[in-house]
Amino acid sequence: MDKFIIEGPTPLNGTIPISGSKNAALPLMAAAILGDSPTTITNVPKLRDIYTFNNVIRVTGTHVTFDEDEGVLTIDPANLAHLEAPYELVRKMRASFYMLGALLGRFGKAKVSLPGGCAWGPRPVDLHLNGMREMGANIRLEEGYVIADAPKKMEGGTFALEPSSVGATINLVLASVLRAREFTIENAAKEPDVVLLCKKLVEMGADIEGVGTRTLTIRAVDRLEGIQIRNAADRIETGTFMIAAAMHPESDVTLEGVNVKDLGQFPATFEKTGAELITGDNTIQVIAPETLRPTDVTTETYPGFPTDLQAQWSTMMTQAEGTSTVTDTIYYDRFSYVPEVTRLGADMDVTENRVAIEGKTPLKGASVMSTDLRASVSLVLAGMIARGRTDVLRIYHLDRGYEDLEHKLNAVGARIERTKQEE
């Protein structure tokens, strides 16, 4: 098991390339098995979750090739015959559950393990299953697996997502495009990952009405064709590096390969901290303020403030001059990073789904423990502003969602070393 040794504080200056999005790539990979011919996806990041999902797909008999150097992934479902996603793989990553929708949609049968993923909070799959039942599928749970079957054409119907859910929207779209006569998803997620998936399914031949809105209506088609797809830029990586740049008053960082429109309201919120943003066609330059202003945020569904950036934002607020609060309305139990950042000297207090931060507090290096993907990167950000040495343990979480993190940050001035963690 690896860890990071970080020496701080370090201002950041230079250019960072933004990788392809993991959260966008995974649904596109699932969609690829719906086609009658191979699909090629470019701009795919080298991440543990990508490798895991490649293996999940391979179990079905699908041929998967991944050119890591070029970021090119080709999925050929010609020999797909085994309609199961096993526990030993699905438990590693929650998005593997997309195989339920894809297999049910393509073949009318599926056996998929209940999912795993980050170790925080209950994230039930009831919305996925109830939506498929409304569509006309037979769903039962058996020894930790979801067993699903459906007729050649399901009648469909209407299902309202309460609350709106990216994962459930994706799974229901995958299940319906080949099999539901007419199925309407109300309060559908409209995150960029969902919009990209729907647009590419339409290019494959799907009939989806309302793409980019809260109401999606899907009418089954007889077949889909494989296509060429360019994956989106990672908007969460973009936001993370924007925050990293703003935390030190001497930082000036340009992010390349950004899709600014995918960031929703985040840039406007970000500028309230006093940081300066200069945006180009596919770049964002971040110039850190001399004094970081405390800025309250509340997570919301897109285009609001993303829950995947709340840990990083809270960590940045430890360096703001004054009191701020961060409230997570998406996941109530996503504050495992707080005790760890507090170990470095932060003044943070959690009450239910809100953390109050008193700044500015000087941080001092110590050993801290990662608990999930976004919590892990918040500890890296804290380590880069803390004085002295910080050891961030269990960084395998980071490798699930950030490509070449230490190399990108070291290239602009950070001092991060990856080494083996003593057991």
**Residue 116: pLDDT above 70?**
no
Q: Is 284 annotated as a binding residue?
A: no
Q: What global pTM score does this model have?
A: 0.94
Helix (H, G, I), strand (E, B) or coil at 351: strand
- Confidence band, pLDDT 50/70/90 cuts, at residue 292: very high
Q: How far is residue 401 from each of residues 22, 47, 50, 110, 118, measured CA to CA in Å?
A: 7, 6, 9, 27, 11
Q: Is 400 annotated as a binding residue?
A: no
Q: What is the pLDDT of residue 119?
A: 41
Q: Which residue has the tokens 């996806």?
A: 41
Q: pLDDT tens digits for 331-379?
A: 877 899 999 999 999 999 999 999 999 999 999 999 999 888 788 999 9
- Confidence band, pLDDT 50/70/90 cuts, at residue 118: very low
Active site residue 118: yes
Q: Is 235 annotated as a binding residue?
A: no
In the chain, what are the domain boundaries? 2-16+234-420, 24-223
Q: pLDDT tens digits for 301-335?
A: 999 999 999 999 999 999 999 999 999 998 877 89
Produce one character per residue of 342-358: b if its CB has 16 or more CB atoms within 10 Å, e if not: bbbbbebeeeebbbbbb
**Residue 117: pLDDT above 50?**
no
> What are the tokens at 147?
């067993």
Give the max Cα distance, the chain. Answer: 63
- Confidence band, pLDDT 50/70/90 cuts, at residue 122: very low
Q: Is 94 annotated as a binding residue?
A: yes
Quick one: what percent of the chain has pLDDT higher than 90? 87
Among 69-83, 139-153, 216-230, 405-419, whose mean pLDDT is lowest? Answer: 139-153
Q: Is 281 annotated as a binding residue?
A: no
Q: Is the peptide bond before 360 cis (omega within 30 degrees of 0)?
A: yes
Q: pLDDT tens digits for 2-15?
A: 999 999 999 999 99
Q: What is the pLDDT of residue 401?
A: 87
Helix (H, G, I), strand (E, B) or coil at 76: strand
Q: CA geometry: angle at 368 spanning 365 and 372, to 5°? A: 140
Among 147-156, 224-233, 332-341, whose mean pLDDT is lowest? Answer: 332-341
Measured distance CA(59)–CA(81) in Å, rounded: 9
Q: Is 124 annotated as a binding residue?
A: yes
Q: Which residue has the tokens 């797809």?
A: 229
The closest of 357, 290, 275, 288 to 317, measured between CA atoms, is: 357
Q: Which residue has the tokens 């054409």?
A: 153
Q: What is the pLDDT of residue 332?
A: 76
Domains 2-16+234-420 and 24-223 agree in fold = yes
> What are the tokens at 207?
């009939």
Q: Which CATH number fits domain 24-223: 3.65.10.10, 3.30.9.10, 2.60.120.340, 3.30.420.10?
A: 3.65.10.10
Measured distance CA(374)–CA(196) in Å, rounded: 23
Count CA atoms closer than 13 A to 354's CA, side-chain side.
Answer: 8
Q: Is 127 annotated as a binding residue?
A: yes
Question: DSSP label at 283?
Answer: E
- Confidence band, pLDDT 50/70/90 cuts, at residue 423: low
Note the CATH architecture for domain 2-16+234-420. Alpha-beta prism (3.65)
Residue spans of alpha helices (H) in 177-317: 192-204, 235-246, 266-271, 310-317
**Residue 198: pLDDT above 50?**
yes
Residue of 6, 25, 50, 118 marked active site: 118
Measured distance CA(242)–CA(131) in Å, rounded: 37
Q: What is the pLDDT of residue 176?
A: 98
